[in-house]
Chains A and B, each alone.
Chain A
Amino acid sequence: MYFLKRIIFALPLLLAISFLTFFLVRVAPGGPFDRERKPASPEIERQLQAKYHLDEPVWKQYLRFLGDLSHGDLGPSLKYRNHSVNDIIGQALPVSLTLGGLAFGLALGVGIPIGYQSAVRRGRWQDYAGSLFAILMVCIPPFVLGPFLILLLGIKCHLLPVALWESPAHTVLPVIALGLYYSGRIARLMREGMLGVMQAEFITTARAKGLDEHTVLLRHGFRLAVIPVVSYCGPLLADLLTGSFVIESIFQIPGLGTFLVNGSLNRDYTLVVGLVLLYAVLLIALNLLVDFACALLDRRVRYA
Chain B
Amino acid sequence: MPESPNSPGQRAWSRFRRHRLALPSAIALALLLLVVVLAPILLHLAAGSQIALRFDPERLSDAQFQPPSAAHWFGTDVHGRDLFARVLFGAGVSLLVGLVGAGVSLVIGVVWGAVAGYAGGRLDALMMRFVDVLYSLPSIILVIVLITTLEGLLKSTLEKIHAPWLNDSARLLFLFVGLGSVSWLNMARIVRGQVLSLRSRAFVDASRAMGAGPIHILSRHIIPNTLGVVIVYVTLTIPAIILYESFLSYLGLGVQPPMASWGSLIAEGADQINPIRTYWWLVACPGTILVATLLAFNCLGDGLRDAWDVRSK
Interface residue ranges, A against B (CB under 8 Å): 13, 17, 21, 24-25, 27-30, 135-136, 138-141, 143-144, 146-148, 150-151, 155-156, 162, 234-235, 238, 241-243, 245-246, 249-250, 260-261, 264-265, 272, 276, 279-280, 283-284, 287
Contact of A147 among B135, B150, B153, B269 (CB under 8 A): B269
Chain B: interface residue total (CB-CB under 8 A): 42
Nearest-neighbour CB distance to chain A for B22, whole angstroms, equals: 12
Q: In the complex, A109→B280 CA distance in Å? A: 30
Name B297's closest neighbour in chain A (CB-CB).
A139
Within 8 Å CB of A280, what residues of B?
Answer: 137-138
Binds A, one of B98-106, B207-215, B245-253: B245-253
Question: Does B152 lie within 8 Å of A28, measured CB to CB?
Answer: yes
Asked if A28 and B247 sit within 8 Å, CB to CB, the answer is no
B152 proximity list for chain A (CB < 8 A) = 28-30
Return chain A residues, CB-CB under 8 Å to B35.
none
Q: Is the CB of A283 within 8 A of B283?
A: no
Main secondary structure of the interface of B (DSSP, over half): helix
Contact flag A143-B141 (CB < 8 Å), given A135-B298, A148-B287: no
Do the beta carbons of A144 and B290 come within 8 Å of each other? yes
B265-313 CB contacts (< 8 Å) to partner A: 266-267, 269-270, 273, 275, 278, 280, 283-284, 287, 290-291, 294-295, 298-299
Which residues in B have their C-beta under 8 angstroms from that of A283? Answer: 136-138
Quick check: B287 and A28 within 8 Å, CB to CB?
A: no
| CA distance in complex: A135, B296 (Å) | 10
Our pick among A24, A135, A246 for the contact of B247 (Cβ within 8 Å) is A246
In whole Å, how far is A135's beta carbon from the nearest beta carbon of chain B?
6
- In the bound complex, residues from chain B placing their C-beta under 8 Å from that of A25 are 145, 149
Pairs A–B under 8 Å by Cβ, sample size 28: A24-B145, A24-B146, A27-B150, A28-B150, A28-B153, A29-B153, A30-B152, A135-B295, A141-B247, A141-B290, A143-B250, A143-B263, A143-B267, A144-B291, A148-B287, A151-B283, A156-B278, A238-B137, A242-B138, A245-B251, A249-B251, A250-B270, A260-B141, A264-B145, A276-B141, A279-B138, A283-B137, A287-B136
Counting from the closest, the 8 A-B pairs by CB-CB distance are: A28-B149, A139-B294, A264-B148, A144-B287, A29-B152, A147-B270, A139-B295, A147-B283
Q: State whether B280 touches A151 (Cβ < 8 A).
A: yes
Are B149 and A235 in contact (CB-based, < 8 A)? no
Q: State whether B275 touches A279 (Cβ < 8 A).
A: no
Chain A residues near B291 (CB-CB < 8 A): 139-141, 144
Q: Are A155 and B278 in contact (CB under 8 A)?
A: yes
Query: Quick check: is B169 within 8 A (CB to CB) of the other chain?
Result: no
Most buried by A among B149, B153, B252, B269: B149
Q: Give the Cβ gap from A142 to chain B, nearest Cβ, in Å.
A: 9
Q: Which parts of B192-239 form the interface with A (CB within 8 Å)?
A: 239
Name B118-149 residues within 8 Å CB distance of A. Answer: 133, 135-138, 140-141, 144-146, 148-149
- Residues in A with CB closer than 8 Å to B243 are 141
A148–B285 CA distance with the chains assembled, in angstroms: 11
Q: Which residues of A contact B294 (CB under 8 A)?
A: 138-139, 141
Which residue of A21, A141, A151, A246 is within 8 Å of B278 (Cβ)? A151
- Across the interface, do B145 and A21 meet the contact criterion of CB distance under 8 Å? yes
A24 to chain B, nearest CB (A): 5
Chain A contacts for B156, CB-based, 8 A:
29
Q: Are A261 and B144 in contact (CB under 8 A)?
A: yes
User: What's the nearest-Cβ distance from chain B to residue A228, in Å?
Assistant: 9
Q: Are A24 and B250 in contact (CB under 8 A)?
A: no
- If A147-B273, A151-B278 are given as contacts, then 19 extra A-B residue pairs at C-beta distance below 8 Å, sorted by A number, are A21-B145, A25-B149, A28-B149, A135-B299, A139-B298, A141-B290, A143-B247, A144-B266, A146-B270, A147-B269, A150-B270, A151-B273, A156-B278, A234-B136, A235-B135, A241-B138, A260-B141, A280-B138, A287-B136
Nearest to B129 among chain A residues (CB) is A9
A243 CA / B250 CA spacing, docked (Å): 12
A264-B144 CB under 8 A given contacts A139-B291, A144-B291, A148-B287 = yes
B87 nearest CB across to chain A (Å): 13
A134 to B153, CA, bound (A): 42
Q: Which residue of A has the minimal Cβ distance to B156?
A: A29
Nearest B residue to A158, CB-CB: B275
* Complexed CA–CA distance, A29 and B153 (Å): 6
Question: A24–B278 contact, CB under 8 A?
Answer: no
B283 touches A148 (CB 8 A): yes
- On chain B, the residues within 8 Å of A138 by CB distance are 294, 298
> In angstroms, how far is the closest chain B Cβ from the Cβ of A52?
18
Residues of A within 8 A of B153 (CB): 27-29
Residue ID in chain A nearest B299 by CB atoms:
A135
